[in-house]
Amino acid sequence: MLPSIIAIDGPAASGKSTIGAAVAANLGYLYFDTGVMYRVVTAVALARALPIANEAAVTALAERVQIDFCAPTVADGRQFTILADGADMTWDIRTRAVDQNVSPVSAYPGVRRAMTAHQRRIGLQGNVVMVGRDIGTVVLPEADVKIYLDASEEERARRRHCERVARGEAVEFATVLREIQKRDQIDSSRDVAPLKRADDAIYLDSTGMAITDVIARVMDLVAAKELAH
């Protein structure tokens, strides 16, 4: 039998979303990007002018907000539509303001508790590729395949810089690099569920690798797990 739960963790812009979505499509599995949930909480907090430093208010929001994913409702290049309490937030979660505030939001224990409970429920249904920071360590420690996807800081900053320039933003490479370093630092050093490689995760460094080669490598790891059963 093919492994049913595949966890992919790694730092910002390590390629988790691209690789995770492609592997899920190849296997016919659900692709679930958990970072989106922390981004929705952050985007809604900013839209409601809640101070991000107000842990109680941001946590209460995370506990109450209804987050839904559905097939694309607009043909504007989106992979899926993301709704928060029924409002389309698909692009609002990708702004610079969200990039800059999502790490502190995701460090709040109450926010993580609320998001982790949802993610675990979805993951345990199986046939899923779930990507994030703590999937193999906290959300789904029983995952059949765990991959820790990494790339050098410079390469990750280059990828994010290209994406943002393609979206029409005038942003310096050095700024993107600094922001990535700051997010890595917060994501890895927080008290609850920090970004770290699970003991049983396979480490995959994608620096200098073509996307198709990384996808092929992950598919090989999935197939190897099937043979081992």
Q: Is position 157 an interface residue for ligand DC (rule: CB under 6 A)?
A: no
Nearer to ligand DC (CB atom), residue 199 or residue 228: 199
Q: Is position 12 an interface residue for ligand DC (rule: CB under 6 A)?
A: yes
DSSP state string for the chain:
---SEEEEE-STTSSHHHHHHHHHHHHTPEEEETHHHHHHHHHHHHHTT--TT-HHHHHHHHHH--EEEES-SS-SS-SSEEEETTEE-TTGGGSHHHHHHHHHHHT-HHHHHHHHHHHHHHHTT-SEEEEESSIIIII-TT-SEEEEEE--HHHHHHHHHHHHHHTT----HHHHHHHHHHHHHHHHH-SSS-S---TTPEEEE-TT--HHHHHHHHHHHHHHHHHH-
Q: Which one of 59, 106, 137, 206 is in contact with ligand DC (CB under 6 A)?
A: 106
Selected range binding ligand DC among 61-69, 71-79, 130-138, 214-222, rule: CB under 6 A: 130-138
Nearer to ligand DC (CB atom), residue 133 or residue 159: 133
Q: Which one of 23, 24, 29, 34 is in contact with ligand DC (CB under 6 A)?
A: 34
Least distance (Å) from ligand DC to the CB of residue 1? 26
Q: Is position 187 an interface residue for ligand DC (rule: CB under 6 A)?
A: yes
Least distance (Å) from ligand DC to the CB of residue 57? 19
Show contacts with ligand DC in window 40-99 (CB under 6 A).
none
Binding-site size for ligand DC (CB under 6 A) equals 14
Which positions touch ligand DC (CB under 6 A)?
12, 34-35, 38-39, 102-103, 106, 132-135, 183, 187
